[in-house]
Amino acid sequence: MTPLTTPVVDPARQASPEPEVFAGYELGAAYDEMFAAPDGPRAHYAALHARLATTSPDDFRQRKAMTDLSMREDGVGFTVYRAEEGIERVWPMDPVPRIIPAAEWRRIEEGLVQRITALNLFLWDVYHEQRILRDGVVPARLVLQGGFFRREFVGVDVPRRIYVHICGTDLIRAADGTYLVLEDNARTPSGVSYMLQNRQVLKRVFPSLFNDYDVLPNDDYPAALLDVLQWIAPPTAAQPVVVLLSPGIYNSAYFEHSYLAQRMGIDLVEGRDLFVDGNRVFMRTTRGPRRVDVIYRRIDDDFLDPLTFRPDSALGVPGLVNAYRGGTVALANSVGTGIADDKGVYPFVPDMIRYYLAQEPLLPNVETFRPEIPAERSHVLANLDKFVVKRVNESGGYGMLVGPASTREQREEFRAAIEANPRDFIAQPTIQLSTHPTFVDGRLDGRHVDLRPFVLCGERVTVTPGGLTRVALPKGSLVVNSSQGGGSKDTWVLADHDHAPAGGVS
Amino acid sequence: MLSRVADALFWMSRYLERSEHVARAVDVTFQLDLDLHGVLADPVELEWNALLSLLRMPPPEPRPGSTAAAAAMRWILVDTRNPGSVLSCVNRSRNNARSIRGSISPLMWRELNKLHWRLTDTGLQARVAESPHDFCEETRIGVLLFHGVCESTLTHDESWHFIQLGRYLERAEKVLRILDSRYALLDSGDTTDLPIATLQWGAVLRNCGAYEAYRRLFISRVEPERVVEFLLVNPDFPHSVRFCLAKIVDSLAEIAGRLPDRCDDEASRTVGRLLADLVYLDAAGLDGERLHSFLADAMVRCARIGAHLQRQYALV
C-alpha cells in the first residue's frame, strides 16, 4: 500500500470503483480459514472469495439486514443469563459461510465417532466395573469425587448401554490449521437449531453463494435424532411416545427446544405436564393421562427430579429418576454424563481412546496443565498471562481467565483461587483460534471462530455434516459463546467428489 | 393433546381476538369523536370515558401537554402498564404462542411475531398521538393474517378447535358488552336527531366490524332494533353472537369427539342452551330494560362456559 505520489489518471475522471469489501483485510498470527497468504484465498475458498469481492458493501449491508430481519421474524431469540430482565436478543448470524473440504471433514468425522465411542465406554465402565480407575489410567479420586459423578447410578443398566446420545464437541484450529478438541458437551449441548436455521436463512438471503459449491445438506438432523430417541425406547413400547422436556420459555435455549420438538413432531413438555404413577411416566392431556416412553430432556441432572437431586427444583418431575432406573422410561442424555465432559477429566480422554479402543486419537486435545500436580501448578502460576485458565465446573464462557487479555487484578484473583483449590482449575496455552472473514462495519474483517459439530449415538454413531460455527464478533476476542457477544455462521461441508469450483463470476 | 397446550392455544387466540376488538374500538371512537366534534357540547371526554368503561380499563394518568384523547389512545393502545392494552394483549398472545411453538405451524408463529415487532415500532407508536388509525389497522391486518394462516396451515384437529373456542368466546362476549353499553339509547326515543343516532348506532356496528355487512342486508337508515337483531341473531354473519355460539358448539363437539347434537358435558350444555335462547329470541319485543337483562344474563353464561372448559380439559 505505497501511496502514489503522482496520480496515474485524474481521479475525478476515473470511473469510481466499488469499494472492495476485502480492503485492508489483515492476517494475524492465527490460521485464517480463507487466506493462506495475503494475496490469495485457499483453493476451496476461491469461488466464494471471487463472488464476495464483487459484492458491494451496500449490497452486503442489505443482505445482512435481511438476515437480521429473518432471524427476528422467526423469533430466533435467546435469553442472556445476566441481563436484567431476560431481554430477548436475536442471535446474530454472519452471512459469510465457513467452508470445510470433504477430506478435512472425513478426518473430523472419524475423530468424533472415535471420541464419543470412547466416552460412552468410559461412562459404562465408571458406573459398573471401574476398570479404568483400578488400572490407574484415570485417577479414581478425580472421577468419584467429581461434582458430576452420580453414585445413585452405579450399577444401573441404561438402555442399550448408551449414556451420551447427543454430543456437541467444540473444535478449534491451531496456528498450523490442526483441528483440536477444546471440550466435549455431553450433558445437554445446544446450538443445533442455529446450525439448521443458519442454513435456511442463508439460502433465503444469499442464494447465489450456493451456485459454486456442492454443499452437503444438514437438514436430516431432526429425523436422525428421532431415530436415536426411538432406538432407546423400552422394548415394551410398540409405538414409543417421545417427548422433549424443557424448562420453559424463559430458558435461553427455549427456541431450540420448540424448534426441535416441532421438527420431530413430538410434544414439548414442561415438568408440570408430567407425573409419575406406579413408577411409570405420564403426561396430562385433554383426554386424560398418556404414557411417555422416551424423554429428550433439556434440563440438567440437578433439576430433573426433586426426589433424587435438588429438592428445591420446580422444573423437574418427582419420581422420574426412579422410573428411569426401573427402565420404564428412557432419558437422553442419560443421568450422570457430566463426568465425561468434566474439564478435569478432559485431559484423560486421549488415554481413554487408547485404553478402550486401542487406537491413537485422531483429534488431539489442546495441551492442558493441571494445577493439582505441583510441578504443573508452579508452571501455570508463573505464566498466568499466557494461559487460559478455566474452572472445571463452569461452562458457557463463565469463570474463565484469558491470560493475554487479563488485568493484573484478575490474574491475582485467579492465582489465589488456584492456590486454594488447585483441583478446580485447568490451564491451557492461549490458542489463537482460526480467523474467518466476517462482515463488520461495512467490510470483511477477520474474526475468531470455533466449530461445534453434533454427534448422535444410537444404533449407529452419526455426525451431521457441518455444525455450528461460532464467531467472536469483537475484534481480537477469543470468546465465542452466545452469552458473551458471539455470533454464528453457516457451515458448509463440501460433497465428496472432485468438484472444481466454477472459476469465473459473472 | 397436552392440557397446557390446549390452555395456551385457547388464550393465545383469546388475547389476539381481544386486541383486535380493542383496536377497532379505538379507531371507531376516534372517528366518531371527529364527527361529533361540532355537534355535541363536550363529546370528547365523554366518548373516551365511555370507551374506557366499555373496555373496563381504569383511566390513564393525565399527561401534561397531551389532550385527553391522545392520552386515552396511548393508554389503550400501546401502554404495557395497562394489561388490557392492544400491545399487552398481543404480547400475552405471543407469549402463549411461544410456549407452544411446536404445536402451531411455523407460519402462524411468524405472523404473530411479526405483528408484535410491527406494533413495537416506535415510529408507528408515535403516530398514535395524531391518529390511531395506522396502529389499529396494523393490528387488525395482523390478526386477520394470523387467522388466515392458521386456517390454511394448521390441521383442523383438536388444537385448531381450541383456537376457535378462544376466538369465538371472546368475540361473543365483546359483542354482548358493546350492545350492553348502548342499550339505553334504545329507549331515548329521540327521533328528532336522526343524524346523531345514525352515527352512534353506526359506531356500534363498526365496533363489531359489522357496518358494511349490515348495510348490504338493510337498505335504509341504521335502525337500532335491526342493529340489535343483526348483531345478536343473524345466523350467517361472523360477528353475530349466534354465529359465535354455533361455532363454539361445533368445536366443543369436535374436541369431545362426538356429534354436535349430543351435549353431555357442562360446557356444551351451557352454550347450547344460550344458543337456543338466542335462536328463539323475540328481538322485536325487546325494550332497553329487557335487552339489558338479557345481555347481562348472556354475559354471565359466557363466563360460565369458560369456567366449564377449564374444568373439563384441566386447562390450568
pLDDT digits (tens, 9 = 90+) for A233-287: 999 888 999 999 999 888 888 999 999 999 999 999 999 999 999 999 999 998 8
The CA distance from A289 to the nearest CA of chain B, in Å, is 9
A407 three-state secondary structure: coil
**Residue A10's pLDDT is what?**
44
Interface contacts A/B by beta carbons within 8 Å: 64
- Dist. CA B203–CA B217, nearest whole Å: 17
What one-letter code names the amino acid at A265? G
The CA distance from A67 to the nearest CA of chain B, in Å, is 15
Same domain, B191 and B295: yes
**What residue of B is the nearest CA neighbor of A260?**
B102
Q: Percent of chain A beyond pLDDT 90?
A: 69
- Dist. CA A461–CA A166, nearest whole Å: 10
Q: Are A133 and A355 in contact (CB under 8 A)?
A: no
- Dist. CA B101–CA A478, nearest whole Å: 34
DSSP string, B227-276: HHHHHHH-SS-TTSHHHHHHHHHHHHHHHHTS-TT---SHHHHHHHHHHH
**Residue A83's pLDDT is what?**
39
**Residue A3's pLDDT is what?**
42
pLDDT of residue A395 exceeding 90, the answer is no
The CA distance from A259 to the nearest CA of chain B, in Å, is 7
**Residue A339's pLDDT is what?**
93
- Dist. CA A446–CA A236, nearest whole Å: 54
Same domain, B130 and B179: no
> Of B122, B154, B186, at which residue does a domain stop?
B154
The CA distance from A194 to the nearest CA of chain B, in Å, is 16
Inspect the interface and report whether the beta carbons of A269 and B100 lie closer than 8 Å.
no
The CA distance from B95 to the nearest CA of chain A, in Å, is 8
**What residue of B is the nearest CA neighbor of A258?**
B102
**Residue A77's pLDDT is what?**
66
Q: Is residue B162 part of a domain?
A: no
Q: Is residue B247 part of a domain?
A: yes
pLDDT digits (tens), chain B, 316 positions: 999 999 999 999 999 999 999 999 999 999 888 887 766 655 567 778 889 999 999 999 887 888 888 899 999 999 999 999 999 999 999 999 999 988 999 999 999 999 999 999 999 999 998 899 999 999 999 999 999 999 999 999 999 999 999 999 999 999 999 999 887 766 665 555 667 778 888 889 999 999 999 988 888 778 888 899 999 999 999 999 999 999 999 999 999 887 666 667 899 999 999 999 999 988 777 788 889 999 999 999 999 999 999 888 865 5
pLDDT tens digit string along A154-178? 999 999 999 999 999 999 999 999 9
Contacts of A162 (CB under 8 A, 6+ apart): A120, A232, A334, A457, A458
Same domain, B61 and B142: yes
The number of helix segments (H) and strand segments (E) in chain B equals 14, 0
Q: Is residue B163 part of a domain?
A: no
**Residue A11's pLDDT is what?**
42
Inspect the interface and report whether the beta carbons of A284 and B4 lie closer than 8 Å.
yes
Interface of A with B (CB under 8 A): 72-75, 244, 248-249, 254, 258-259, 261-262, 266-270, 272-273, 283-287
**What residue of B is the nearest CA neighbor of A269?**
B2
**What residue of A is the nearest CA neighbor of B309?**
A286
Inspect the interface and report whether the beta carbons of B113 and A75 lie closer than 8 Å.
yes
Q: pTM for this one?
A: 0.87
| pLDDT-based confidence at residue A90 (cuts at 50, 70, 90) | confident
Q: Phi and psi for A450 in degrees, rounded to 5? A: -125, -170
**What residue of A is the nearest CA neighbor of B2?**
A285
Inspect the interface and report whether the beta carbons of B110 and A267 lie closer than 8 Å.
no
The number of helix segments (H) and strand segments (E) in chain A equals 13, 23
Q: Give the domain A373-430 fold.
A: Dna Ligase; domain 1 (3.30.1490)
Do you know the residue count of chain B?
A: 316
Same domain, B136 and B183: no
Interface of B with A (CB under 8 A): 1-6, 95, 98-103, 106, 109-110, 113-114, 117, 158, 255, 313-314
pLDDT of residue A501 exceeding 50, the answer is no
- Dist. CA A300–CA A311, nearest whole Å: 14
Mean pLDDT for A43-61 is 92
ipTM higher than threshold 0.90: no
Q: Is residue B161 part of a domain?
A: no
The CA distance from A328 to the nearest CA of chain B, in Å, is 21
Residues of A in contact with B111 (CB under 8 A): none
Q: Give strand ranges (E) for A147-235.
A: 166-173, 179-185
Inspect the interface and report whether the beta carbons of B2 and A286 lie closer than 8 Å.
yes
Calculate the average pLDDT of chain A.
88
CA dihedral over A418, A424, A428, A432, signed as positive or negative: negative
Residue whose C-alpha is closest to residue A196's, from A109, A63, A71, A79: A71
Inspect the interface and report whether the beta carbons of A269 and B2 lie closer than 8 Å.
yes
- Dist. CA A490–CA A198, nearest whole Å: 5
Cα-based angle A356, A360, A363 (whole degrees, multiple of 5): 105
pLDDT of residue A81 exceeding 60, the answer is no
The CA distance from A471 to the nearest CA of chain B, in Å, is 27
Q: Are B87 and B119 in contact (CB under 8 A)?
A: yes
**Residue A5's pLDDT is what?**
42
Q: Checking DSSP bridges between strand A93-100 and strand A166-173, what pairing results, if any?
A: unpaired
Same domain, B103 and B224: no
Q: Are B249 and B243 in contact (CB under 8 A)?
A: no
**What residue of B is the nearest CA neighbor of A285?**
B2
Chain B interface mutation, best of A268, A286, A291, A317, highest count of B Cβ atoms under 10 Å: A286
Mean pLDDT for A374-396 is 87
Task: Delimit the domains of chain A by residue range.
Answer: 373-430
Mean pLDDT for A29-47 is 92
Residue A11 Cα distances to A8, A16, A54, angstroms: 8, 8, 21
Residue A439 Cα distances to A21, A92, A446, A487, angstroms: 9, 11, 9, 11
**What residue of A is the nearest CA neighbor of B256?**
A287
The CA distance from B24 to the nearest CA of chain A, in Å, is 25
Look up residue A479 and give its three cell numbers.
Answer: 470468546
Inspect the interface and report whether the beta carbons of B158 and A267 lie closer than 8 Å.
no
pLDDT of residue A18 exceeding 60, the answer is no
Cis peptide leading into A333, omega within 30 of 0? yes
> What letter does residue A50 receive in the DSSP assignment?
H
Residue identified by cell 398472545 is B93
Inspect the interface and report whether the beta carbons of B109 and A75 lie closer than 8 Å.
yes
| pLDDT-based confidence at residue A88 (cuts at 50, 70, 90) | low
The CA distance from A434 to the nearest CA of chain B, in Å, is 36
Same domain, B306 and B249: yes
**Residue B183's pLDDT is what?**
78
Residues of B in contact with A270 (CB under 8 A): 4
pLDDT of residue A226 exceeding 60, the answer is yes
Same domain, B129 and B209: no
> Considering its fold, how many domains does chain B have in total?
2
Residues of B in contact with A289 (CB under 8 A): none
**What residue of A is the nearest CA neighbor of B116?**
A73
pLDDT of residue A12 exceeding 50, the answer is no
Inspect the interface and report whether the beta carbons of B101 and A262 lie closer than 8 Å.
yes
Domain span at residue B209 reads: 170-316
- Dist. CA A146–CA A396, nearest whole Å: 19
**Residue A70's pLDDT is what?**
85
pLDDT tens digit string along A435-483? 999 999 889 999 999 999 999 999 999 999 999 999 998 888 888 876 6
Residues of B in contact with A251 (CB under 8 A): none
